[in-house]
Amino acid sequence: MLTPIAYGLAIVLSLFIVLIGARFLLAPRAAAAGYGVPATEGTGDPAYLTVKGLRDLTYGLVGLALIAFTSADAVAWFMLVVALAPLGDTVIVLRHGGSRATAFGIHFATAVVVLVSAALLFAI
């Protein structure tokens, strides 16, 4: 019973991060606003938006590849390590004038869910 839940959560999280990465590549300004640190015109923001999109897209695709081709332990370790990204995003939003609600309600909460996913995968 635990196996479908653990893998299901890992799949949903991986697909979700693929979608977030794609959104940063296709609608960067809207994605940045949703991230909690809006982008401004005429600065280096296009590079930040592209890097963010590629990072998230890559993490999601690597997660899906691990789910498809490796063991639960490998996916669990990946989830454990990749939880650093939303934890870092929490700090970035707080340090750059974003709201605490966005920092903790989106990014920190995501890190917690990713860590729960890792724990479930380690348990099977």
Tokens read off for 66:
């691990």
Residue numbers of the domain that contains 84: 2-123
For the CA atoms of 7, 10, 13, 18, what is the dihedral angle to 10 degrees? Answer: -100
Res. 83 pLDDT band, cuts 50 70 90:
very high
21-68 pLDDT, tens digit each: 999 999 999 999 999 998 887 666 788 899 999 999 999 999 999 999
The domain tally of the chain equals 1
Higher pLDDT, 42 or 72: 72
- Its pTM stands at 0.91
Separation between Cα atoms, residue 80 and residue 87, nearest integer Å: 11
